[in-house]
Structure 1
């Protein structure tokens, strides 16, 4: 995110030693002009104005020092509330401007009086209620009747901030110095939720998301917490916690190191501060329009698929946080810091000469609640100063793709690309058969050699009737029928098949369940074939079972042969072969009609017998963590240690019968080997096999994302510190052959790590666009996958529950209960809306919409 600032300075009333109240809306700026008057500046043409030379319009009416100022959210009917130690005055800004045009003095309306000094003030979205924090209580004032309607009692400390919900008009959220926040129902005058003590320091600020019931809390210790309000409003769930103090400290250390390298002495400047004194959630979209559509039933029920993609990829919300020494810009979906506007940094002061050097500590700050023309205005007032600085920030959108990283290949193969490699077996020499001897005549006896024949009718016992007991009856037409049926499906498939529904509801209805293994034998992995007809289930007993998705209670075949637990399993594109890896340092390829593997990968170079004496062809020294078919089944890849191997292979399936399958002619050979020098091991990777793609995304023990371009055999991009721990799951959005996505949707990648939630990345910008928290993942590498329609994300959890997330949100939408142990893996059927969950108790559960 880039910053372009326009700054100016305004002189406020001298209030040294106390907080200077500031208010900023889409059209106006308000601040104390004198101790008892308010100065109003219009912001219609702020780019062409120098507000410091503009005389404000003064509002008079207070008899003591002004303590609080607050605008409402309506950009048309603008209201301003001002409070002193004696009463609260409501101003109609449209009337104020009309009076100024005729040079008349505006008069406000006193709505409440006779109270102690207030600490916070806010106006509801419907402009009918004002909430005022006074000491430990909140007073609700009816603007239409100009009197207090109720007092909300519950906090044990001074109220620090209050705010009304955008989405639910009856919700009011308050924070206090007692280190708690509370959610109130202002219509019923009841307490809905009490957070309890959250921190060792007081809570200073809060902000509400305009588009969803989400609360952002900031405290004096520099921590920002995001909470999701439940649909019943009776509970709130902590989504994420951002430690600004730790992040800013790391940034300062990196800056000091760079300064030491560039100069003899590092310049000294103050600490950017950690106390979060102001928060604002700014949406790039038109909030007013979206809120109106929220109440429209048609807009509720019909959501275009393109809007889902754009909502995920494009910037939707940004959190602006003001500390005592910096303005921090945070991604609202992931709580990742995008930029820091450090007022204590000398480089910032040089590039922005209008900011005076004495602005090192911020005493008060506010942001415009609703941006206009993609602009955010920030009002700053230094500690123990009476000069207010107006900073206009132009927020640029995320850069578009430059074409460097794309999951779908958009360029021809390189001249020396390893993807051009072919595996051609040497043809066998033809069998030299002796010619048949010509019939010879025995001239001595006059006899001629003739073939042995049977007569049509032989009267002999046992030859005229068929045998009663048949040992076997060979099926000579089995291969022919299989080929005809397969060709029929392929020929008629595009005509008769049904596409995967884009707008299908969530798969939350349990259809059936079954126990696949004995109690105590868990299921570690699930994988559907490309056509959705087969489901591979990896059990903890080192076996793989194939199930028919339409009849899962009937097991098709069981693969056994690995000596240690199986790490991963993946189908090829046609659904005929299965590639599995194990901790026994081998990988095996299975044919879905045979119980024995057709190819065993145990050495790192090849399996040619003629070259078996080659000393470079050694067995794998480390476990094979993951393997997958690649490039439309032309290659397969596997990861062992810190190396990524690309193999070409040949499978002779025409000779897979009961006799000739023992004469194995299946071969593999290494094409290229890539290493991650900065890491000890590759924990997982993913690649696209359903279409031609050059990109392979790897996760390593260094906690980063390594993106390889196999066309040029090198790493083209590194995302360091992608997770707090090593990733155990990477899933590229490959879609399905039964559904079509925009090309930009395939650049989305899901990653998951223990204790660090799920992240959704856009590879074009190397940016995390969403983060999903709520499920429990403390020790097990639970699986995660995205639905073919790209609307839902499913994940396992250690609380015996599977979770469904809406891809546009960062909180779960459904919880699927019923398992008796950890839900270890989940899988979506690529052909029809169906979700399968597997747990360590050996149970499979099948869900449909």
Structure 2
């Protein structure tokens, strides 16, 4: 749609309200938009990955199944350039896909497969996240084991284990051993901690944020792989850690039915971790229904926070305004419990997956057309009205003055070659993003699979 036909007040609206699309291809369990918002990757329960092109009315352009997973997908992570995709599955493996090698003939896939790196762990995987600048580096949280930092830059994949013990408890163990105390007894199973979720800091990936089963938030240096700061946030499991794209806010979803919004310190300019202050700004909860939250997400400037609810009785997405911490909208329209929720800021779209059917629900903004942008005197009317002629409407106009005005307007220089650097919502349109190639000469049998 031509942006000049859209109401500028509607374009400036920052959050969607209407359920506009339902995507149904297999049983989707997890979704992820790429950084520019052109593509949507959907992980299915059979281990396949579907990629939708959002610029072409959400059409399926490829299916990642050759040399893929055999169990349900548990997490998807895009590289910043949009060319590489990291998938983690319940088959205990993580695979790095090169999207430049998809949509080819079967004989070409065997010669140069799209999976360029693959690793299998000794247990289930909670989630895996790519480094924001290095697509060969990712962090993963493992079931009943310490989190890992994996370097896949070479064929020999290097796996580095990260600590789960908070920094304060590490110092207690060090002081006890220095005083000559006996070796501590084995930790009870009920006292053990597990890292349930990990993610990189969004700016340069210098730090890894890890949430444990005891409510601790550990910040680990990516270079040294050591814990530099720890803070006790909650007394229950940390299920989700989401950092806003601008790196200013952190949302922590825990099992105590509370979402905590934390204001992040300047991790780049403040080099001393002891000076970091993680202040809890707001706590979001439903005190009436006591709802659990499945997943949370920020928009691009952290002005809004959304969360999907747990339980068959609730089928909505809650939206809060982060500056005041107030509930401003409840997105309705789905007929089932929603699991994974993501925010596509570039297209102002919210996506979520249904638990029962695996349908992908998309909420967007419906832009009203403004025809007066093409004709300043254009007026829209709902019904026929009787036109009243103005007194001077058909008076004789000075032709000399009229021609002089037209000549002045013709002298104005109009640039029709330079492209706009920002769209109607202020996003940078010059940002390069990888375009997934489509081979239109594929056999008809393959096309039938993806349509």
Shared fold per TM-score greater than 0.5: yes
Q: Could you tell me whether the CA contact under 8 Å between 2:162 and 2:225 is conserved in 1?
A: yes
- Coordinate RMSD, CA, aligned: 2.7
Query: Closer, same or farther in 2 for the Cα pair 1:804/1:631, shift >3 Å?
Result: closer
Match in the other structure for 2:194? 681
Matched, 1:820 2:335: yes
Picking from 112, 115, 118, the partner of 1:598 is 115
Match in the other structure for 1:730? 241
Q: Could you tell me whether the CA contact under 8 Å between 2:243 and 2:251 is conserved in 1?
A: yes
Q: Could you tell me whether the CA contact under 8 Å between 1:805 and 1:812 is conserved in 2?
A: yes
SS of equivalent residue, structure 2 residue 91: coil
Match in the other structure for 2:206? 694
Query: Closer, same or farther in 2 for the Cα pair 1:547/1:797, shift >3 Å?
Result: same
Match in the other structure for 2:82? 575
Q: How much does 1:668 deviate?
A: 4.8
The higher-RCO structure (CA 8 Å, 6+ apart) is: 2
| Distance in 2 between residues matched to 1:668 and 1:825, nearest whole Å | 33
Match in the other structure for 1:458? none
Query: Closer, same or farther in 2 for the Cα pair 1:844/1:642, shift >3 Å?
Result: same
Q: How much does 1:639 deviate?
A: 2.3
| Distance in 2 between residues matched to 1:774 and 1:646, nearest whole Å | 36
Matched, 1:542 2:57: no
Match in the other structure for 1:832? 347
Q: How much does 1:558 deviate?
A: 1.7
Matched, 1:638 2:140: yes
Match in the other structure for 2:23? 515
Cα deviation per residue 1:286-344 (whole Å; 9 max; x = unaligned)? xxxxxxxxxxxxxxxxxxxxxxxxxxxxxxxxxxxxxxxxxxxxxxxxxxxxxxxxxxx
Picking from 619, 623, 628, the partner of 2:129 is 628
| Distance in 2 between residues matched to 1:576 and 1:757, nearest whole Å | 36
Cα deviation per residue 1:791-836 (whole Å; 9 max; x = unaligned)? 1111112311111111123332101111111111222224232222
Match in the other structure for 1:383? none
Match in the other structure for 1:719? 231
Match in the other structure for 1:754? 255
Q: Could you tell me whether the CA contact under 8 Å between 1:785 and 1:793 is conserved in 2?
A: yes
Match in the other structure for 1:784? 296
SS of equivalent residue, structure 2 residue 294: coil
Q: How much does 1:597 deviate?
A: 4.8
Q: How much does 1:563 deviate?
A: 2.2
SS of equivalent residue, structure 2 residue 152: strand
Query: Closer, same or farther in 2 for the Cα pair 1:639/1:531, shift >3 Å?
Result: same
Cα deviation per residue 1:417-474 (whole Å; 9 max; x = unaligned)? xxxxxxxxxxxxxxxxxxxxxxxxxxxxxxxxxxxxxxxxxxxxxxxxxxxxxxxxxx
Q: Could you tell me whether the CA contact under 8 Å between 2:76 and 2:85 is conserved in 1?
A: yes
* Number of equivalences: 302
| Distance in 2 between residues matched to 1:565 and 1:832, nearest whole Å | 28
Query: Closer, same or farther in 2 for the Cα pair 1:719/1:559, shift >3 Å?
Result: same
| Distance in 2 between residues matched to 1:734 and 1:507, nearest whole Å | 16
Give unmatched runs, 5+ long, in structure 2. Answer: 1-8, 104-112, 167-191, 266-276, 367-451
Q: Could you tell me whether the CA contact under 8 Å between 1:786 and 1:828 is conserved in 2?
A: yes
Query: Closer, same or farther in 2 for the Cα pair 1:668/1:537, shift >3 Å?
Result: farther
Q: Could you tell me whether the CA contact under 8 Å between 1:514 and 1:845 is conserved in 2?
A: yes
| Distance in 2 between residues matched to 1:668 and 1:788, nearest whole Å | 37
| Distance in 2 between residues matched to 1:751 and 1:777, nearest whole Å | 17
Cα deviation per residue 1:91-113 (whole Å; 9 max; x = unaligned)? xxxxxxxxxxxxxxxxxxxxxxx
With normalisation by structure 1, the TM-score equals 0.33
Query: Closer, same or farther in 2 for the Cα pair 1:539/1:552, shift >3 Å?
Result: farther
Aligned pairs for 1:35-46 (under 5 A) are none
Q: Could you tell me whether the CA contact under 8 Å between 1:707 and 1:716 is conserved in 2?
A: yes
Aligned pairs for 1:438-453 (under 5 A) are none
Picking from 303, 308, 314, the partner of 1:796 is 308
Aligned pairs for 1:119-134 (under 5 A) are none
Aligned pairs for 1:245-260 (under 5 A) are none
Q: Could you tell me whether the CA contact under 8 Å between 2:208 and 2:222 is conserved in 1?
A: yes
Q: How much does 1:631 deviate?
A: 4.9
Q: How much does 1:769 deviate?
A: 1.3
Matched, 1:566 2:67: no
Picking from 514, 521, 524, the partner of 2:29 is 524
| Distance in 1 between residues matched to 2:290 and 2:220, nearest whole Å | 28
With normalisation by structure 2, the TM-score equals 0.61
Match in the other structure for 2:160? 672
